[in-house]
Chain A
Amino acid sequence: MTIIDVQELTKVYRGGLKKRGIVALDNISLSIQQGEIIGLLGPNGAGKTTFLKVVLGIAHPSTGQVIVNGYKPKDPRSRKHLGYLPENHRFPEHLTGLGLLEFTGRMHGLKQVEIDARTDRLLEMVDMAKWSNTKIRKYSKGMQQRIGLAQAMMPDPDVLLLDEPTDGVDPVGKVEIRKVLERIRSEGKTIVLNSHLLSEVESVADRVAILSKGRLVRLCTVDELITRNCQYEIDADIGNRLVDIPVEVGKILNVSTSKLIVELTAEDKINYVIDVLRMKKISIRAIQPLKLTLEQSFMEAIVPSGTVGTHKGAEV
């Protein structure tokens, strides 16, 4: 079931009288299904935060259509079952952590009984129970992120939009937040995770959407992103033997005494390569699809081809 449907979305921020508008989002179409975790990747200024803001109705689309939970973002009902952790948030500083959760609950129209039940559970979940009566202004950055995550969870949302959730959090805190995200995922909730930490996205996301200069340049699963089509790394005792394959089968990208990297014209051509190696009495230890690191794939997606670093095969 599609929970967020974005079609041909363009967002232009109007400049001053003589300034040209800034295109923050350029013709983006993206559907997010219930229960999936989608990672939004992109360099600074790619439009990731603007995308979340348009979905939430915080910024208005210039053209295109956005439907959230069956409603347009300007309809408050679209946000009824939606939790949001903004980037660089500044929650009301006069509130305590507990006060923030209670206020968030009231803003979502929850009854006091529901608020009481959820605050205790959420404070425990983000390990903030003992700081619940301390004013937010006294919290460290990590504590603010954790209480921010708790307030995003307060309405028991079907969709959670997290903008840089581990920003400013120490490594231990990051692991804890990742555990929380995995727990949320196990509850079947949808998460849209905007993060510049590729490892974070890689570890939790089902799909990734890469934005660059306001455009959606890639939308696929993490595995599809890091796997190179028809490229294989073959572990074999090649030694000094000459290996060659016809152009219609593919080409050899790299060869050493123990490793061969080939790019084939089709998936089934791997059998031909195996036959060639076996005919030359080369023993094959392993064949694996060539994978890039997420960082390499990301760079390849946003930077023009030919400028990306060297390939690195993933271990099988």
Chain B
Amino acid sequence: MRGITRDTFIEMIDRKLVWIFLVVTLITLLIVVLTRSASMQIEFGGNISQSSPFTNLADKMAVSGLSSFLSFLVFLSVLATAGLIPSMLVRGRAEYFLSKPISRTALYLYKLFGIWFVYGGMMVCAGMVIAASFYLIHGIFNWNYAYLFILNLASFFVWLSITTFAGVMAGSAMLSVVTAFVVLVVQLALRFHEQLGAIIRSPIITKTVDILYYIFPKTGQMADITEKLASGQPVTDWLPVWSTLLFAIVLIVITSEIFKRKDY
């Protein structure tokens, strides 16, 4: 990708963000280690088989813990990367990037995927450390944990599509974060679209809210689906996953078209 992924990695190291991820991982690791004494106290109560209620409870806690950890890393990564596109397009630097023999679409996609690979890669590494600590300390491991990694990476990708859209449109890191926050709040509200429709009782507004629900990303519901998959529970409704990914793809196409047409 013309050195852009490598450049994003160097930039991450230079901004010392890797230390923040390291500190968060170490704190989580410490919490996992501290839970060892709690589990030992429970184990003293009797023999525990693989299918005992305690094991199931511990497995659920591990899924929940790992899911929360990865979600927090997604949150951190979104904050950390919100300024990368605006920084690339700042006056004096945009000219440097745009004067190279790379199409704007490729430049945008290389940067988007570069950020996703680098920060997503760090999320995966940190998540694997925590998953390994669950296994080593509590003996809990489940291949379904892979869903946690895959869907959190997908969630990060969706948030990147939103922040990069705002970054290209407004050229401001602050506005990128604010846009992400607004989308988060709106999607939380839209999650209760049926209840909202019942309260408002206006057919037009109800219809509008319904449409917005289907259009807007549903990362919160994606997180619920992720936990279900990781716990081995069946998922009946995949709409939140595919509609969210579709939203991200459409937004990336729109961003790319806007980026192509802008003057710098």
Chain A interface (Cβ within 8 Å of chain B)? 13, 53, 56-60, 74, 76-80, 82, 84, 86-92, 94-95, 99, 102-104, 106-109, 135, 151, 155, 161
Nearest 10 A-B pairs (CB), nearest first? A106-B3, A94-B14, A90-B92, A86-B95, A107-B100, A84-B99, A59-B263, A79-B101, A76-B101, A80-B101
Which chain B residues lie closer than 8 Å to A59 at the CB level? 263-264
* B170: Cβ under 8 A from any A Cβ: no
* Total A-B contacts with CB atoms under 8 angstroms apart: 89
For A99, what are the chain B residues with a Cβ–Cβ distance below 8 Å? Answer: 10
The residue of chain B having its C-beta at the shortest distance from the C-beta of A83 within the complex is B99
Task: Give me 13 other A-B pairs in contact (C-beta within 8 A), A90-B93, A103-B3, A106-B2 excluded.
Answer: A58-B95, A60-B263, A87-B92, A89-B92, A90-B91, A92-B93, A99-B10, A102-B3, A103-B7, A107-B3, A107-B101, A107-B102, A151-B96
Q: Considering the chains assembled together, what is the distance between the CA atoms of A135 and B11 in angstroms? A: 12
Q: Whole-angstrom distance between the alpha carbons of A53 and B92 in the complex? A: 12
Question: Which of A57, A74, A91 makes the CB contact (< 8 A) with B96?
Answer: A91
B189 at the interface (CB under 8 A from A): no
- Find chain A residues with CB under 8 A from B93 CB: 89-92
Smallest Cβ distance from A80 to chain B, in angstroms? Answer: 5
A285 to chain B, nearest CB (A): 53
In the assembled complex, which residues on chain B have CB atoms less than 8 Å from the CB atom of A13? 263
Per the bound structure, the CA–CA distance linking A57 and B104 in Å amounts to 10
Is there an interface contact between B92 and A57, defined as CB atoms closer than 8 Å? Answer: no
Q: Which size class do B's interface residues fall under?
A: 20 to 34
Chain B nearest Cβ from A44, distance in angstroms: 16
Whether A79 pairs with B99 at a CB distance below 8 angstroms is yes
Docked Cα-Cα span, A99 to B2, in Å, equals: 13
Known: A13-B263, A95-B10, A99-B10. A86 touches B99 (CB 8 A): yes
B88 closest partner in A (C-beta): A92
Chain A residue nearest to B3 (CB atoms) is: A106
For this complex, 9 residue pairs linking A to B, each with C-beta atoms less than 8 Å apart, are A13-B263, A58-B264, A74-B260, A76-B102, A78-B101, A92-B11, A95-B10, A107-B101, A155-B101
Smallest beta-carbon distance A152→chain B, Å: 9
Given contacts A13-B263, A94-B14, contact A58 B102 (CB under 8 A): no
Shortest distance in angstroms between A87's beta carbon and chain B's nearest beta carbon? 8
Give A86's nearest chain B residue, CB to CB: B95
Could you tell me the distance between the alpha carbons of A305 and B12 in the complex, rounded to whole angstroms? 57
Contact among A90, A95, A155, A161 for B90, CB-based, below 8 A: A90
CB distance from A127 to the nearest CB of B (A): 21
Q: Tell me the smallest distance from the CB of B106 to a CB of chain A, in Å.
A: 8
Q: How close is A51's CB to chain B, nearest CB, in angstroms?
A: 13
Q: Which of B91, B99, B101 contacts A88 (CB 8 A)?
A: B91
Q: Which residue of A lies closest to B95 (CB)?
A: A86
CB within 8 Å for A56 and B98 given contacts A88-B92, A90-B92: yes
Assess whether A82 is in contact with B91, with CB atoms less than 8 Å apart. Answer: no
B7 adjacent to A56 (CB under 8 Å): no
Whether the pair A107, B10 counts as a contact (CB closer than 8 A) is: no
Min CB distance A144 to B, Å, is 11
Give Cα A27 to B6, complex, Å. 42
- The verdict on A95 contacting B7 (CB below 8 Å), with A80-B101, A89-B96 known, is yes
